Amino acid sequence: MVKDIPIQDWVKLAVTRARLSETPVVFWLNKDGSHDAELITKLNVYLKDHDTNGLDIRVMAPDDAMKHSLQRAKEGKKPL
């Protein structure tokens, strides 16, 4: 079971960092894993509590997230 308060804090931190740093946020979560699937469900609920307009927030499986991060680094963009 995943506790809610740490997840709420995690989402708030991600949204705040995305806005302040003007960088995308990628949550490295695998929808096929039971724990990660539970986190994704909670993430989608708690994102609604924040102003995410204009932010690039994604959920990606770890292998896709790594490729995305490496591509950004190759392009000289800020890390995620």
Q: Is the dihedral of CA 51, 28, 68, 72 positive or negative?
A: positive
Q: Give the pLDDT band (50/70/90) at residue 1.
A: low
pLDDT in tens, 13-62: 999 999 999 999 999 999 999 999 999 999 999 999 999 999 999 999 99
Residue 69 forms part of a structural domain: yes
Q: Which amino acid is at 56?
A: D
Q: Give the pLDDT band (50/70/90) at residue 2.
A: low
Q: Which amino acid is at 73?
A: A
Provide the domain count of the chain. Answer: 1
The range of the structural domain enclosing residue 28 comes to 4-74
Residue 37 forms part of a structural domain: yes
| ∠ CA 59-55-33, rounded to 5° | 10
Residue 80 forms part of a structural domain: no
